[in-house]
Structure 1
Amino acid sequence: MEFKNTDVGSILRIRRNLTIPEVGPQSAECCGRIYEKAEEIGACVVGPWHFISHGLPKDIETIFTVDFCLPVSEIKQVPSGDDIVLDTVTEFYCASRTYEGSLHQLFEMGYQPLLEEINAVNLECSGESREVYHTWDGPDSENNVVEIQFGLAPSPKS
């Protein structure tokens, strides 16, 4: 587990309210649309995909909010008319762990060990978590490199 502050920057974003099983199919659709929009408006891609979750549930039936985000530069606005917006990914303090492999074991081998480490040192999560896709070769690929980040709540004052 690593503790870090994340970078701030411009993103193209689509927000969806989904269950965990819906994330994969929606990510393919949303990321494709965002990438097409980036090319259309001449945005320069400056970083890997970020999937930002708000209130990630512990089950597969509960709906939560997911932002599919592509870091970009060289744009000031996005033409209106669809659900792709220009936004800013904010800095946040987090516990981070890098997972390598297929998405089939992302929760068991990525999320679970990180949450256990966070709980072992009595830290509280903020409710925001992120997946940063440093390398993506498809859901079944063992070559994927995904950084998992859990935002940490501010420490209580003594």
Structure 2
Amino acid sequence: MSAAAPSPENAPELTHFRDGQPRMVDVTDKAATTRTATAEAWVVLPPEARAALEAGTNPKGDPLTVARLAGLAGSKRTADLILLCHPIPVTGADVQVTLEAAGVRIAATVKTTAPTGVEMEALTAASVAALNVYDMLKAASKAIEITGLRLLSKTGGKSGDYRAEDRQGQPIS
């Protein structure tokens, strides 16, 4: 069952569409402020992929280092991939790729001083890093899963700060 469409007079104003056409929102008059965002993704490894990673026998080399570099590059290429995203100066980026009990955890933090936020840059960094872990380990297993891509936190901008909660409803530190 689908919800009824709002009547034209009650329809919300769409920020990325005008007269039914896609557009990039004009941020010319918005003040440049310091903004940060952190996103994470997980790569779940089947036993054979984890074994290859832990033993250092992966034929393509070190997936974690490649993923970190790919995430950094991905943060800077976001506007090329997300169609209505503004190209902004990425003034800082950090991508941590760690092997944990649940799999490979990727945490990407991106910073800028710009008139719009960096959430998409952080999410892109995390997803590109995860895709590179898959690419580097796919010879060991095609059953690798990428999961849990989400925004953990953001600061700055008109909408204010945001911090995700864990599965028990507690803020993530």
What TM-score results when the alignment is normalised by the length of structure 2?
A: 0.30
Larger Rg: 2
What TM-score results when the alignment is normalised by the length of structure 1?
A: 0.32
